């Protein structure tokens, strides 16, 4: 009896200590998905690596243009446009000419010419069909106009100031070649020729036929002169006669739809103020040229004895008085209507 009990106890002990049956034989595990397999193959990331990298700040279009301009001026890495304030960006994009640059001088001369009534016939290329002069190209072999001169200057197609001077004189000589003396266009050409001689000598110190062309050094717009220019504009804006010139002309709101057909280079005191704020003037002469342009545009579009024309005359007197103490008035026209 005792032996039977021992055998039963041993059998029960063996049964209890047997390993659990393998369930995989009846229920095989699911195959891992392709995504799970890729995840298993990737190395484990620690906490530092798992952190997301900071996204690079996207630059605006103006900042990208500024970056490209910086690269062109001195190589990449010279400045970070994303860290620049808007005024600094605008100053870079303006790309003002360097002091003493002959291109700046020629631009100032062209601004004066294009804003004169005598230039209305010469601001754009002659259209023989539209203007009823079918033989023009047969007589004039090298056509030229002030608008084309300005475009070529802006596109750096001139090697020096002599080319600009010669093309402006060609505008006049073409006029005399095609239009008989004492005709309206011929007389306008003579007036333009006289105006060019005065303006060219005013800015260079020599007549147009002087060789080589003299390009005197400009007066740089340093911090002290910049503050002086800002004070001048502030005084002008407070003047009662300045109200027609405070803001850009809106041809629709003011009922003058042909304004931009006549005025090729519009300017106003608000625009001058903004250019001063972003240091867009490389020289005092460029600043004075814009003040003169406001006056020239006024006299070009508004007939004598009209209210706006009279305001222009009053503003011209005030500008001259404000610029005279620093001798900046030497870049002004001798009179409001040359």
Per-residue pLDDT tens over the stretch 76-108:
333 444 444 444 444 444 444 444 589 999 999
Average pLDDT over residues 228-253: 97
Taking the alpha carbons at both ends of the chain, their separation in whole angstroms is 145
12 Cβ partners below 8 Å, 6+ apart? none
In eight-state DSSP terms, residue 116 is: S
CA distance 200 to 206: 7
CA separation (Å) from 19 to 29, 247, 305, 318, 319? 20, 96, 118, 110, 108
Render pLDDT for 281-321 as a digit per residue (tens, 0 to 9).
Answer: 999 999 999 999 999 999 999 999 999 999 999 999 999 99
Cα–Cα distance, 321 to 313 (Å, whole number): 13
Tell me the average pLDDT of the chain. Answer: 81
Nearest-5° Cα angle at 288, 282 to 294: 125
> Nearest Cα to 245, choosing from 197, 307, 168?
307
Residues 321 and 113: their CA atoms lie apart, in Å, by: 24
Query: CB of 286 within 8 A of CB of 108?
Result: yes
């Amino acid at each position: 009896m005792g032996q039977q009990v021992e055998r039963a106890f041993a059998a029960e002990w063996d049964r209890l200590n047997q390993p659990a049956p393998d369930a995989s034989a009846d229920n095989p595990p699911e195959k891992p998905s392709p995504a799970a397999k890729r995840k298993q193959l990737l190395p484990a990331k620690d906490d530092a690596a798992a952190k997301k990298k900071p996204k690079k700040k996207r630059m605006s279009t103006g900042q990208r243009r500024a970056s490209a301009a910086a690269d062109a001026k001195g190589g990449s890495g010279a400045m970070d446009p994303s860290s620049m304030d808007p005024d600094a960006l605008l100053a870079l994009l303006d790309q003002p000419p360097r002091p003493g640059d002959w291109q700046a001088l020629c631009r100032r001369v062209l601004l004066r010419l294009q804003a004169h009534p005598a230039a209305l016939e010469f601001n754009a290329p002659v259209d023989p069909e539209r203007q009823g002069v079918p033989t023009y190209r047969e007589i004039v072999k090298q056509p030229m106009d002030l608008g084309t001169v300005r475009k070529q200057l802006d596109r750096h197609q001139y090697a020096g100031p002599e080319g600009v001077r010669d093309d402006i004189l060609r505008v006049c000589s073409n006029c005399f070649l095609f239009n008989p003396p004492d005709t309206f266009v011929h007389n306008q050409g003579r007036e333009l020729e006289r105006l060019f001689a005065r303006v060219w000598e005013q800015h260079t110190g020599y007549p147009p036929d002087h060789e080589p062309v003299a390009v005197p050094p400009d007066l740089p717009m340093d911090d002290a002169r910049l503050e002086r220019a800002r004070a001048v504009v502030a005084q002008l804006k407070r003047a009662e006669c300045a109200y027609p010139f405070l803001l850009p002309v809106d041809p629709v709101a003011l009922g003058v739809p042909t304004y931009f057909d006549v005025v090729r280079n519009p300017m106003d005191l608000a625009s001058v103020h903004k250019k001063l704020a972003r240091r867009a003037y490389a020289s005092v002469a460029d600043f004075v040229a814009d003040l003169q342009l406001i006056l020239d545009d006024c006299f070009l579009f508004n007939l004598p004895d009209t209210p706006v024309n009279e305001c222009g005359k009053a503003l011209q007197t005030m500008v001259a008085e404000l610029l005279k103490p620093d001798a900046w008035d030497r870049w002004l026209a001798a009179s409001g209507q040359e």
